[in-house]
Amino acid sequence: MYRAPIKDIRFVLRELIGESGLQACPAFADYSFDLADAVLEEAGKFSENVLDPIYKSGDRDGARWSPAGVTSPPGFKAAYAQFVEGGWPSLRAPPEFGGQGVPAVLGTAVEELWGASNLAFKLCPMLTQGAVEALDHYGTDAQKAAFLTKMVSGEWTGTMNLTEPQAGSDLSQIRTRAVPDGAQHRLFGQKIFITWGDHDCTPNIIHLVLARIEGAPAGVRGISLFIVPKFLVADDGSPGERNDVHCISIEHKLGIHGSPTCVMSYGQGEGAIGYLVGEANRGLEYMFVMMNAARLSVGLEGYAVAERSFQQAAEWARTRVQGKPPVAGSSPQSPIIHHPDVKRMLLTMKSQIEAMRALGLYTAYQLDLGRGHPDPAARAAAQARGDLLIPIVKGWSTETGIELTSLGVQVHGGMGFVEETGAAQAYRDVRITTIYEGTTGIQSNDLVGRKVGRDRGAAIGALIADMQRELDAIATDDPQLAGTKAAALRGVAALHEAVGHVLEAGAKSPDSLYAVSVPFLKLCGIVAGGWLMTRSAAIAAAQLGAGATDRDFLLGKCATARFYAAQVLPQVQALLPIVAQGAASVVETDAALL
């Protein structure tokens, strides 16, 4: 049974991030810890009492397709109705359309709870949120009036329709046509991998669709963005005539069975009516607003599902009696949590989950400052840092999430491979996250090419300088904290060196740069996690020294940071020579030899 990790989320929001930076932004002047606590408490209850109970059944029963449409798993429609009734879809949305306008950092914290308690369910409101952001940025006043209020309330949901059978991640190859028809267009084509593209939870679904207007340039420069509702909107704002868009099948997947992954057909008859968003041929640019938000959201799914897996593995280890640990004393057998290797696996999970959570929330906080800080220089610096960190959060957190959920199966032993224990479901569900919204390779190429190469390392250099300064300022009277700090500083030094190798490779050979981009991304994530874990340990140690009463939690923060420094951060020293010297072994190998 999942339990929302409110205490650790609260620690990150209060101790690592604070409230003053957000309160300096006019849009978030009313933000406070009390507000965050109230939202998290209610979100925790919803995740535990509504979403978690349909987690396993949603996997077992799955979404079902018929010619009449897609039926969600039993319990999902009722849960979504409660989700809307609770006001959750509007949490981060603009107030002018009925949204609550809370900071992204708080919205991201809440999203973790949805992702951990029921990832298949969480994907539906996630995509609606992204569609709302895209329309808020680029839609006309008439389009916003027609669609946003109902999408913000959750009465209608939204989707993102990008790829096609022949295109995959290469959106330059999309063929869906948009034929001008007066003030609108008629779309013809097929889209695949459309998450929650059809369902029975709401009376209307608003699709954002990439297509080519006839005569548009080839490649990505000729792509436009369209609003294509499942049902056309009547004059009174209600769903009217059925549009010519249909789900013709759903995929049978490794995991997230409760989330329908749809093949969508546009224009089986006279064409699906679509409304152009913004200017023609700028669709991919507009869609990137939605994709950027989704990349951070998918990144947090990596550590959210890992948190669920850790909780289940830890509970199993506390109750599973097997074997005699070396320090078991006179007891012939003991719960396996006392076996050193089981403790190692659980600490591997817990420490990295805490590091990923801290980095994910820190990144969301930077985006808040980037959008809302009154000082233009501070706003630009925060936006640059948030943009830099998004591919790291997305790539590192999802790759690590797969590793940790695999460890969750391992802790269970043979019973982890049996579906009845539930350990395998988290492993299956999280596997998609390294692929969603761009594979890890796409994220790492974005990181080294756009986020590091384009400004010649300025944004990452500023981050490294802040890491160095904050770590140097930590007092280390405690020997254990001193060791944690030293390991974190070694990591920062390695990152600084790695950036130099990346910039050098980028100046000489794109192939050499991209051949080591994923190792570089992982190195960035591990080092950033070490920085935040060390800060957390220093805060926890200071609170313990001041007589704080929640000793077990604070001691746990120190212990996970110590483990991270001893068994996770040393991986950086193995990744550094790969970044420095590993490209040739890739670039110089003939593909025919593979």
CA–CA gap between residue 410 and residue 239 (Å, rounded): 49
CA nearest 296: which of 437, 487, 496?
437
Residue 301 appears among annotated catalytic residues: no
Phi-psi label, residue 267: left if phi above 0, alpha if psi -120 to 50, beta otherwise? left
Give 285-290 contacts, CB < 8 A, sequence gap 24+. Answer: 286/134, 286/137, 286/138, 286/225, 287/134, 287/160, 287/162, 287/208, 287/210, 287/225, 289/130, 289/133, 289/134, 289/137, 289/138, 290/130, 290/131, 290/133, 290/134, 290/160, 290/208
Report the Cα 377 to chain-centroid distance in Å: 27
CB 352 within 8 A of CB 305: no
Phi, psi of 571 (to 5 degrees): -60, -25
Structure tokens at 424: 């395998």
Report the DSSP beta bridge partners of residue 276.
226
| Residue type, position 383, single letter | Q
How far is residue 260's CA from residue 250's CA, in Å, rounded to a whole number?
6
Give backbone dihedrals phi and psi of 97, rounded to 5 degrees, phi first: -115, 20
- Structure tokens that stand for 370 in this block: 């980037």
- Distance between CA atoms of 313 and 260, rounded to whole angstroms? 28
Total Cβ atoms within 10 A of residue 87: 14
Bridge-based pairing of strands 157-161 and 205-213 is parallel
196: left (phi over 0), alpha (psi -120 to 50) or beta: left
**How many alpha carbons lie under 13 Å from residue 164 in its C-beta half-sphere?**
18
Asked if residue 353 lies in contact with residue 313, where contact means CB atoms within 8 angstroms, the answer is: no
User: Out of 241, 437, 497, 588, which one is annotated catalytic?
Assistant: 437
| Alpha-carbon span 485 to 533, nearest angstrom | 9
Active-site residue list: 437
